[in-house]
Amino acid sequence: MHRENIAPGRQPALAARRRSLYLRVHAWAALIASLFILLATLTGLLYVFVPQIEARLYRGLDHVSPSGSMLALDRSVAAAQAAAPPGLSLRSVLPPYEAEDPVRILFEPVRAPEGHAHHHGAPPAMANARPVTVFVNPYDARVLGVQDTGGRFSDWSKNLHSRLLQGEGWRWMIELGASWLLVMLLTGVYLWWPRPGQSGLPRAGRQGRAAWRQWHAFAGVALGILSLVMVLTGITWSRYAGENVRALRDAAGQQSPAAPRGLRSTPRPGARALDWQAAWNTARAAAPPVALSLSPPADAAGVWRATSADRAAPTRRIDLLFDAYDGRVLYRAGWDQQTAFGKATAVGIPFHRGEFGLWNQALLFLFGASVLFSLLSGWVMYFKRRRSEGLGLPALLPGAWRAASPLALLGTLALCALLPLLAVSAGVVLVLEALVLRRARPA
């Protein structure tokens, strides 16, 4: 590797040593994360267009033609129960919010009695049952279709994006990439930061690797805030780092409000339990204008539950529990009752998924294209360097490892504590630096 010509006994300036260290770390982060980031970006770009793709794939299920007045919700529920496969019980109902919406009724396998989950005498229908959603036309109670819950294109593309269509054990790959992408972002901003008299904007007339470098830095920093939002929202539902984030959330008292246990309805002599239509009317009167998911009482003393089903309307988020006989509200938690963390995730996660409409999709497409350009330009610079400097990693000036600022060291420790995969992989990098790169023969 090429090294600066430093006179014997002289140390390069602190700023130069620090810059060479952060450039080295930035390059390591790119080497480790590039493949994972490429996969996450390509699959994420596919996920961005889920609404348009599903509008074509499932038009016959997701869209109805209004014809007169809607029937009572109980008619659609009864039709769905007749069409559902055996071995399933009704879990929740999503009534139509817009005039063109169908009724969606979710069924899940009946739970076997405790201690008999694997009983050889269990009915085959129950043993092989899978959750399904039944789609019903609310105007004539005609069943439009039955679909495996989790079998839609959105579920497939989400699985592809988060774990490459593999099991839970493969989620570490995307988490590793996101962890090092955060390192790339932080070190990249430091390396780009303009010195006195500079603007940080690309300048005309540069050619070769210098031109690639300035556009690489500008593209990365221009969307830096968006990159930070995407990484942080992705980490919140990752496996290992997500557990740490949730633990910190709970320790800070930022968990979302939860309904108290033991809420029960009060059956009165002669009182009739609310039917589906009455429960829906009660929920609509007590909730903000948003699509609602209704869950029925578990037993005669159970309660109805209504929750918002539209992630694109986070400020109308609602969790509502009410008496199964008189509709009296027993618990209500809306946007105002959410913690700061809950509000941030309620906005950030739908944004990450592109669920706020066309502007959100366009911004995420621009972000994905920028990430692809950053990866391409980074690898172009790597191979240009590699032809002239052998290994291809940026040179470390003497004393570079001791030049890190105390703030950077504290930040690194905090990140490693929060991101376990970053800590493990960073340890591997340090071993390689100590055992392998130290022996690399200078070009």
For residue range 262-305, list pLDDT tens digits in order.
899 998 888 899 999 999 999 999 999 999 999 999 999 999 99
Over range 390-418, report the average pLDDT: 85
In angstroms, how far is the first alpha carbon of the chain from the final one? Answer: 5
**Mean pLDDT to the nearest integer, 210-234:** 82
Phi, psi of 318 (to 5 degrees): -150, 145
Instruction: State how far Cα 28 lies from the chain centre.
Output: 25
Q: Which residues, at least 6 apart from 171, have a Cβ–Cβ distance to it below 8 Å?
A: 162, 163, 238, 239
**What residues does 134 pair with on adjacent strands?**
105, 146
Residue 48 neighbours by CB distance under 10 Å: 20
Q: Is the pLDDT of residue 3 over 50?
A: no
Give the amino acid at 411. G
pTM of the model: 0.83
pLDDT of residue 175: 85
Residues 268/287, Cβ–Cβ less than 8 Å:
no
- Residue 104: per-residue pLDDT: 98
Q: What is the pLDDT of residue 116?
A: 47
Express each pLDDT in 325-357 by its tens digit: 999 999 999 999 999 999 999 999 999 999 999
Res. 167: pLDDT tops 90: no
Average pLDDT over the chain, rounded to an integer: 86
Which of these, 271, 303, 277, lies nearest to 78 by C-alpha position? 277
- Of residues 225 and 259, more confidence is placed in 259
Quote the pLDDT of residue 6. 46
Whether 419 contacts 235, CB under 8 Å: yes
Tell whether the model's pLDDT for residue 146 goes beyond 80.
Answer: yes
Q: Where in the chain is the domain with CATH 3.10.450?
A: 63-151, 276-338
Q: Give CATH for domain 63-151.
A: 3.10.450
Q: Mention the CATH class of domain 276-338.
A: alpha beta
Q: How confident is the model over 41-54, as pLDDT tens digits?
A: 999 999 999 999 99
Higher model confidence: residue 94 or residue 438? 94
